[in-house]
Amino acid sequence: MPFSIWATLLGACLLISFTPGAGAINTMSNSLNAGFRRSIWGVLGQQAALVAHLALVAAGLGVLVASSQLAFNVIRYLGAAYLAYLGIRQFLRKPDVSQEAAATLENEPWWSMFQRGLWVNLLNPKAIVFFLAFIPGFVRPELPLVNQYLVIGATIICVDILVMWFFFALAAKSFQRFTRNESGQRVLNRVFGSLFVGVGVLLAIV
């Protein structure tokens, strides 16, 4: 892949990753609840979903999802429902400042955060449609396709990991002082719960 095309791809990936969405909200929530270092598991789950989306597009299956209204709507509503579920659960979570509660949140199994990150991004059909519109502009048919998709995938994933972990997860650390009392926890739970539900509603209706 020519450097000029890769540089354009890099800029586009940065712009996309810095745009707040369900992945950013999930990352910040994980960072608040489980800590900055362990929030990486949710970020990696989100990347696994991006790899799956890219594989679908590369295999040509993304076109089927994008062109089938039924398939698109089924995935769309499942994704919206999952985000709403996460939001309602967060919104209704009871504040608890005890050491036992803090230890429970901080010790959430890695696979639980990974799985949540996977589903947050996987159940987003617009990501497939976006990849369909985004990826072809950086692929040159006269060059080896596998190598190009590897470069594109590696660039997207590396940029998204850096932005999610070192921007959104770090940004969430500034809110940790609010988790030390019940009123602060209640506010954060309602804010992040509302954000999850809001993104789910947008996914369902837009």
With 80 as the cut, is the pLDDT of residue 103 above it? no
Instruction: Please tell me which residue, 198 or 180, carries the higher pLDDT value.
Output: 198
With 80 as the cut, is the pLDDT of residue 203 above it? no
Q: What residue segments make up the domains of the chain, in order of their start?
A: 3-205
The count of C-alpha atoms lying within 13 angstroms of the C-alpha of 170, restricted to the half-sphere facing its C-beta, is 7
Q: What is the pLDDT of residue 40?
A: 95
Please enumerate in sequence order all residues whose Cβ is within 8 A of that of 85, keeping only pairs 6 or more positions apart, or say none.
Answer: none
How much is the mean pLDDT over the chain? 83
Q: How confident is the model at residue 99 (pLDDT cuts 50, 70, 90)?
A: low
Q: What is the pLDDT of residue 104?
A: 52
Length of the chain: 206
Q: Give pLDDT tens digits for 106-122.
A: 678 999 999 999 999 88
Q: Give pLDDT tens digits for 8-32.
A: 889 888 888 888 788 899 999 999 8
Q: Give pLDDT tens digits for 152-166.
A: 999 999 999 999 999
